[in-house]
Amino acid sequence: MSGHSKWAQIKHKKAATDAKKSKNFSKLAAAITVAAKEKGGDPDKNPKLRLAIEKARSFNMPAANIERAIQRGVGASEGTQLEELLFEAYGPNGHPIIITAITDNRNRTLAEIKHILNKYDGKLGASGSVLWLFDQKGKIVLNTPKLTEEEELKLIEAGVDDIKIEDGYITIYTSPEDLYKIQQKINQLNFSILEASLDYIPKNPEKISQEEKEIYEKLFDELDEQSEVKDIFSTIEF
């Protein structure tokens, strides 16, 4: 179990809690806006936008909110310009972390993330210092704990790279460029998809002590509470 966004064992439970928070809608809307700004407002021609919309729908974001976020991205409505940032960092005892954020003020977000890291004896790294320790992969979590032999064969034939059981769910990995295509094939096979995302997977997952895990959970929780932080990835196995 490695390479999970945030921390594996509590991710899905935490997501259910986050869905009740209005700030989570703000994060989801920001992701839609940035995706629309990058490659247009048509989800059929913009896989990143489609992923962002589907995630927003999974949290029951109203359709009107989604449409406003798209229009903001394509410039049809006024609004502050947003950009997506990636921060490379080291947590307590030097374990690598990747933090993604969407912000309208790069300097403010940088300062806030740096402040949180410093509280836990972490620090920001130089560009390229951490990223090489991860592979970016498409990740699809199916809403099922197991597969029949026939179902697994169908997924392999669909072109998935790997199939694992993680956190009690079947998790599928793909190349980043194939995520949308594989997702469509899985939908056609009538599997229920819990979530789909582009994640950074550590090449060499690390085991740490229970004491360190508790510190990292507090660090990740505080980073996640920062309104502009989108995702957190680490090399740590929880």
CA 179, distance to chain mean position in Å, is: 13
Give the count of beta carbons closer than 10 Å to the beta carbon of residue 115: 11
What is the reported pLDDT for 61?
A: 86
Q: What is the pLDDT of residues 39-54, one digit of tens each?
A: 888 988 888 888 889 8
* Separation of alpha carbons 89 and 206, rounded Å: 16
Q: Is 152 helix (H, G, I), strand (E, B) or coil?
A: helix
8-state DSSP, 19: T
> Measured between alpha carbons, how far is 185 from 143 in angstroms, rounded to an integer?
16
Q: What is the pLDDT of residue 1?
A: 36
Q: Give the amino acid at 210.
A: Q
Higher pLDDT among residues 16 and 229, named by residue: 229
Binned at pLDDT 50, 70 and 90, residue 123 comes out as: very high
Distance (Å, rounded) from C-alpha 12 to C-alpha 17? Answer: 9
Report pLDDT for 4. Answer: 46
Handedness of CA 216, 217, 222, 224 (dihedral sign): positive
Q: What is the pLDDT of residue 89?
A: 97
pLDDT band for 213, please (50, 70, 90 cuts).
very high
Query: Percent of the chain beyond pLDDT 90?
Result: 43
**Token pair 């990636």: residue:** 86
Q: Tell me the CA end-to-end span of the chain in Å, nearest whole number.
A: 8
Looking at mean pLDDT, say which of 44-48, 65-69, 95-99 comes out highest: 95-99
Average per-residue pLDDT in the chain? 86
Residue 11 has what pLDDT? 53
